[in-house]
Amino acid sequence: MDGKFLRVNGERFWVKGVTYGTFLPNTDSELLPERETVRRDMERMRAAGVNTIHTYTAPPAWFLDLAAEHDLMVVAGVFWEGRQCLFADREVLRKIEEGVVAEVRAMAAHPALLMVCLGNEIPPLVARWHGKARIERLLRRLRNRVKEIDPDLLVTYANYPPTEFLDLSFLDVIGFNVYLECESEFRAYLDRLQMLAGDRPLLLTELGLDSRRNGQEKQAEVLGWQLRAAWEKGLIGATVYAWTDEWAVAGVPVEDWDFGLVDRERHPKLALDSVTDYYRRSRYELRERDWPEVSVVCCAYNAAATLDETLASLARLNYPDYEVIVIDDGSRDATAEIAARYPCRLIRTANGGLSRARNLGINAARGEIVAFIDADAAADPDWLYFLVTRLEEQNAAGCGGPNLSPPGDPEPAQRVARAPGNPVHILLDNEAAEHIPGCNMAFCKSALKAVDGFDSVYRVAGDDVDVCWKLLERGETLAFSPVAIVWHHRRQSLRAYLRQQQGYGVAEALLEARYPERYGLLGGACWRGRVYEGPQPALSLWLPWRRDRVYHGPQGTGLFQSVYTPQAPWWLSVAASPEFHGATAALGASALWIGLAGLSFWPAPAVLAAFGMVASAACCLEASLRMCARDELHGFSYWRRVIGVARLHFLQPWARWLGRLKGAWRCRKEHLWPSRFIGTEGTLWAGWERREEWLERLSRLLRDAGMGVTHDSWGRHDLTVRVYPGYVAVLESVVEHQSQIRFRARLRTPLRLRLLEGVLAAAMVGAVVVLPLLPLLVPLAGCFFTLRREKRRLLASLAVLGRKAGELLGMVPIEEELVARRRPEVKALNE
């Protein structure tokens, strides 16, 4: 295994395969042709570029010997009856297990064996009859028995769309049989399968087309774009169904299907030439035009401990035209000396922060695409290939990929990898992203220039979020490639992790100052997309809010039967927030204070505090169990990791919160808070006829930010905007002098929120007057000022987005008098 890919004899291995069988019994009662026929078939396979044979029954030793003689690898299927509803019978399960163990033991040590396939296409109605959990337990049990025989032997199962809902993440390789005859649908489904596979390799165990019904020309055409799509989407390969039209089921020859590359008499069909064309060339040779030059920028600050690994991985990239640029951002260690040992351009500069270093890299780049990688990450050899391929396929401004934690990192880093707050992508669907992390991203250089690159106000973090949002506001798209992988080392101590999270909190405060419309009530970013977490099988059985729901279709006839995991309820994030922890601590202090005062009602706040502590601990433990669900640890080692990760889930929100406080103070100190200067009004230079266009663009920006927008045809205002928890603002606009659009925003607080604010204010006064309740003053004040802050954020969002909508349409904002009086250097920084 090599991440999401395979490695054989030290080299990356791409499966270029065909299926073989099943056949009528030969003279030795084996479900294979005669040995001489098999030898001739293998010779022709090698001539066609085939390197893998996929069988449906366990091959005998002579077959594996012939495969090794012809330099062919074998995906060996093991057959057991999966089309009957017998999986509740323990005797049947025991016989299945014994049969699989016997067949695997007979061939496990053979050098031609690539992997074992544990079965093929359990019917969806059978799976529904028994329930997905029973089928998954059976396959997991078979996988474990195979690993007992040979821990290094790879294991897969040939799944297909009607049973897509099966969670098979415990297998080494995710296998799927896919028959789609529309190229766009085929490509889209491969994207979906890559997301379902997570960090596991994905193999197409069957694909093809029947030439009897579609003709040989159509078969050759479809196989051509199917194989091209498989390479470009980052699969480890495919096994075409089938080598020959000759096949049989249950001892009966099948005469009315012709999926083979050769016919029953072994005469070649047109599809064989098409497959040979793809199998005998590398993926780079399939491209008909030149590859764009890519400039890889690595910004380093005191990175001597990890930079050598990063640059070594960049030197091994399989891409025909790229350069490496290292920006030494004022390092005081051996960073520059390490970079000098590699074929790269080294640019040394005084320390100015991450954004400034990246901008230096952009200006120095010769390539039309600029890729970024952190100095503590290592790139996969095909990293650039998949980034560039997806960029061009989606015609996107930028593209990112996953950053995985190296499995060999020490235990503290493994815990941090399962903790919240690590760099992660936010996806809108299987192809488009809302955010791509800075440790693994690439952009068209022209797109970066159009948004003036990275903002130097973000010295440590937040620059990637800012540039993604700027591109999205311009109407650009961001793509995501699940196979453009970098291996990113996590922080290796608790102190380093909390310091990193505090820096991220500072960046969040700076981002909120510039994008108030993208932040919510408790200060967290509001994303339209979601983080795809992958399957967590350990929790789906006992956590009702995590329980999967399977779409089977009417009467169980759905062709694509998917599983849907609901998002966690809102109260989970609230119970894990520092605000909730602070309120719980205040209740506990209040109970203690009241008890010391000798008052009798101290149990009430004590019970509430105890409930809050239990809720917080349960939320952290739930998150830890979910993130450790696939860890193959047992006993003390497993629970030590779970408790360690739960502790990080508890501490991380506090570190982010402290960072946001520091960032908010910096914003006010350096006059970076836009709501202080823009106010609730604005004026734009534009023709009178463009007011409706501006309002439409503003409405779109508000909706993209997650706000409710309605148009009013009866009142004096143009737009009504609503945000959680119910605040309402209205926007009015007018045209002055035939060339100026003037707008203003007004707040309308609903009666229920006015009453809530009044109750909170009265409660704060009561907490001050009644001394035993004094500890409650902190959470009450926090709630009160959070609501007040939300009102200011709503007005600031309207003002900021009103200006942005005009700027996107080429309108020029007219600065307010207060803005004009700001210090020149601050004004230049904000612009």
Count of CB atoms within 10 A of residue 402's CB? 24
How far is the C-alpha of 691 from the C-alpha of 653, rounded, in Å? Answer: 43
CA distance 112 to 340: 43
pLDDT for 652-697, tens place per residue?
988 988 888 787 766 655 544 444 334 566 777 665 567 888 888 8
Name the more confident of 82 and 112.
112
Domain(s) of CATH 3.90.550.10: residues in the chain: 294-492
Encode pLDDT of 103-140 as tens digits: 999 999 899 999 999 999 999 999 999 888 899 999 99
pLDDT tens column, 254-294: 988 999 999 999 999 999 999 999 999 888 888 888 999 99
DSSP structure class, residue 186: H
pLDDT tens for residues 170-200? 999 999 999 999 999 999 999 999 999 988 9
Residues of the chain with CATH 3.20.20.80: 6-279
What is 675-830's CATH topology?
A: TATA-Binding Protein (3.30.310)
Asked if 376 and 304 touch (Cβ cutoff 8 Å), the reply is: no
Residue 54 has pLDDT above 70, yes or no: yes
Q: pLDDT-derived band of residue 595, with 50, 70 and 90 as boundaries? A: confident
pLDDT band at 547 (very low <50, low <70, confident <90, very high): low
Share of the chain above pLDDT 90, in %: 52
Domain 6-279 has CATH 3.20.20.80: yes
Span 292-331, pLDDT tens digits: 999 999 999 999 999 999 999 999 999 999 999 999 999 9
Q: SS3 string of 538-549?
A: CCCCCCHHHCCE
Q: Residue 534 above 80 pLDDT? A: no
Q: Return the H-helix or E-strand segment holding 127.
A: helix 124-130
Buried b or exposed e, range 439-471, using 16+ CB within 10 angstroms: bbbbbbbebbeebebbbbbbbbbbbbbbbbbbb
Confidence of residue 822 (pLDDT cuts 50, 70, 90): very low
CATH of 294-492 given 3.40.50.920, 1.10.3720.10, 3.40.50.10420, 3.90.550.10: 3.90.550.10
345-372 average pLDDT score: 94
Q: 3-class SS at 151?
A: coil
Give residue 686's pLDDT: 64
Give the C-alpha separation, 235 to 389, whole Å.
14
Q: What is the pLDDT of residue 33?
A: 94
- Antiparallel, parallel or unpaired: β 440-444 and 369-374: antiparallel
Question: pLDDT (tens digit, 9 = 90+) per residue, 4-17?
Answer: 999 998 899 999 99
DSSP string, 603-614: HHHHHHHHHHHH
Give span(s): CATH 3.30.310, the chain: 675-830
Confidence of residue 817 (pLDDT cuts 50, 70, 90): very low
Helix (H, G, I), strand (E, B) or coil at 303: coil
Under the banding of pLDDT at 50, 70 and 90, the label for residue 819 is very low
| pLDDT tens digit sequence for 497-520 | 999 999 998 888 888 877 877 776
